[in-house]
Amino acid sequence: MHEKIKDLLNENDRFAKHNNIRVVDVKEGYAETEMVINENHINAAGVVQGGAIFTLADLAFGAASNSYGVLNLSLSSTISFIRPAKTGRLRAIAKEISKTKKISVYQIEVFDDSGNLVASMQGLAYSKDKTIP
Amino acid sequence: MHEKIKDLLNENDRFAKHNNIRVVDVKEGYAETEMVINENHINAAGVVQGGAIFTLADLAFGAASNSYGVLNLSLSSTISFIRPAKTGRLRAIAKEISKTKKISVYQIEVFDDSGNLVASMQGLAYSKDKTIP
Amino acid sequence: MHEKIKDLLNENDRFAKHNNIRVVDVKEGYAETEMVINENHINAAGVVQGGAIFTLADLAFGAASNSYGVLNLSLSSTISFIRPAKTGRLRAIAKEISKTKKISVYQIEVFDDSGNLVASMQGLAYSKDKTIP
Amino acid sequence: MHEKIKDLLNENDRFAKHNNIRVVDVKEGYAETEMVINENHINAAGVVQGGAIFTLADLAFGAASNSYGVLNLSLSSTISFIRPAKTGRLRAIAKEISKTKKISVYQIEVFDDSGNLVASMQGLAYSKDKTIP
């Protein structure tokens, strides 16, 4: 099922696809995404735009929170931008830190190629009690 | 100068441009951005991806926090997703709610065509004491 | 009913009472709290402790999110500390900015006696579908 | 110096003292606090008030972010409430996850006696370039 969720997101998340972001791993309460930086990710200051970093983290959060096969929606996320990124590959890792029937909390970290922390996010997801088709 | 910041972002923020997001207004401590929704904004659930909404809000935040002509960076943002969006035009409005020498706080709201609130964000910016070229 | 919620919180919230914080007004999706600063609110830097300011804001959030007579719990809050406070009376105002069947979003602002913004908070509440006794 | 910061907070943070919260350990970029729950921590729903949990977490954050001997202020925190607490001892652990010259990011977790996660917080601190007396 985890492979199915990965494929479903990589095929049907048009925004992620359009921005060269993809899911690379999904386990229960866990996911990884990656983005090879290109010129379309860059902002006016010459570094990767915060929205691109958020999207990379958010896709990992979405994949992880849907990893149980039940539809989950993102309610709220707090992201801290720690270090600018310019080139190479960024990777986001989402880990569940708590889960109740309706609400789960995830910690998502974004790393650059050297393993430096680029951003740290905490996200809340809400379960819709609806299985993923 | 506000016109200059608007043009600078619309020309040089490649990520915003690539995603059809643009600054439409900048005043002191204030900015508006917009995004006409297209198929590249859609996620696997058929609604606008959270990353697209964040980027729209974040660009308004960036334009507003740089509106004094001094370089400001985003430190941290909290976004709550309130209502899904599917079609039409989304608009983000960023307003300064506090400003000290180094740190400012912004409230950013994203609305759909009917004026419904789609997302609400609070952002912290850090001033670099460096004028924008 | 709003008067009942106010009294219920002022009588039964022991932590608020112990810290001289009380609800002064409750309407639908709205509440106000206040705290007259005393020496027990002060931190090692000689200003009102962040926890006291959070508690003041959180009590307003709790009163407002329970104002419909249905039990609501706080899921998550983001607070930005804007200006230190030392003496006088602090007041928090909580306003609903969105409400669905299960989740509501509140904006809470804390002001000092001169009307200066001391802190700004955004909170998410979760409805338990259980009426308040 | 870490012992000094611990003592300074335990003696001079009146709000923490008034609420039975104390620092138990400080290392570089790290701190632990604890609170033995008593009746003054309880809210109208009969569980530990969110403000008490926030204060416990915030004191750990404050101790950790000041552990280098340089004055740091809390800019902003996001707290997620995961599990209610009623009795026993709560403990908060703050860990630095990033640090630049001016801004640092901390992850703070609150546990109950059984090691269950009660709350998770992410905080941003701002360095004042002023040594702690």
User: How many Cβ atoms from other residues are within 10 Å of residue B108's Cβ?
Assistant: 25
pLDDT in tens, D16-47: 999 999 999 999 999 999 999 999 999 999 99
**Residue C129: its pLDDT value, please?**
83
**Phi, psi dihedral angles at B105 (to 5 degrees):** -120, 135
- Name the average pLDDT for chain B: 96
Mark residue D35 as left, alpha or beta (left: phi above 0; alpha: psi -120 to 50; beta: remaining). Answer: beta
**Residue A58: its pLDDT value, please?**
98
pLDDT in tens, D14-24: 999 999 999 99
Q: What number is the average pLDDT over the span C32-38?
A: 98
DSSP string, C90-130: EEEEEEEEEE-SSEEEEEEEEE-TT--EEEEEEEEEEEEEE
Query: Is pLDDT above 90 for B119?
Result: yes
Query: Are A19 and A36 within 8 A, CB to CB?
Result: no
Residue, of B79 and C101, whose pLDDT is higher: B79
**Residue B132: its pLDDT value, please?**
84
For residue D131, give the DSSP letter.
Answer: E
Amino acid (one-letter) located at C104: S
Task: Provide the domain count of chain C.
Answer: 1
How far, in Å, CA of B24 to CA of A60, rounded? 31
Q: How far is B6 from chain D (nearest CA, A)?
A: 28
Where b means 16+ CB within 10 Å and e means fewer, B81-101 reads bbeebeeeebbbbbebbbbee
Query: Are D124 and B76 within 8 A, CB to CB?
Result: yes
Nearest CA in chain D to B103: D75
CATH number at residue B84: 3.10.129.10
pLDDT in tens, B88-98: 999 999 999 99
Query: Is pLDDT above 90 for A133?
Result: no
Query: Is pLDDT above 80 for D133?
Result: no
Coil, strand or helix: which one is B10? helix
Find the CB nearest D15 among C9, C40, C76. C40
**Residue D8: its pLDDT value, please?**
93
pLDDT in tens, D60-74: 999 999 999 999 999
Q: How far is D88 from chain B (nearest CA, A)?
A: 32
**Residue C133: its pLDDT value, please?**
74
pLDDT in tens, A50-104: 999 999 999 999 999 999 999 999 999 999 999 999 999 999 999 999 999 899 9
**Residue B19: its pLDDT value, please?**
98
CB contact under 8 A, D107 and A117: no
In the stretch 55-94 of chain B, residues with CB closer than 8 A to chain D read 75-76, 78
Q: CB contact, 8 Å: D120 with chain A?
A: yes
- Name the average pLDDT for chain A: 96
Query: Is pLDDT above 90 for D129?
Result: no
Query: Are B80 and A78 within 8 A, CB to CB?
Result: no
Q: Angle at CA A80, nearest 5°, toward A105 and B89?
A: 85
CB contact under 8 A, A124 and C78: no
Residue B133's pLDDT band, with cuts at 50, 70 and 90, is confident
CB contact under 8 A, B102 and D103: no
Query: Is pLDDT above 90 for D132?
Result: no
CB contact under 8 A, D58 and C59: no
| ipTM exceeds 0.95 | yes
What is the percent of chain C where pLDDT is above 90? 93
By residue range, what is the domain housing residue C125?
Answer: 2-131
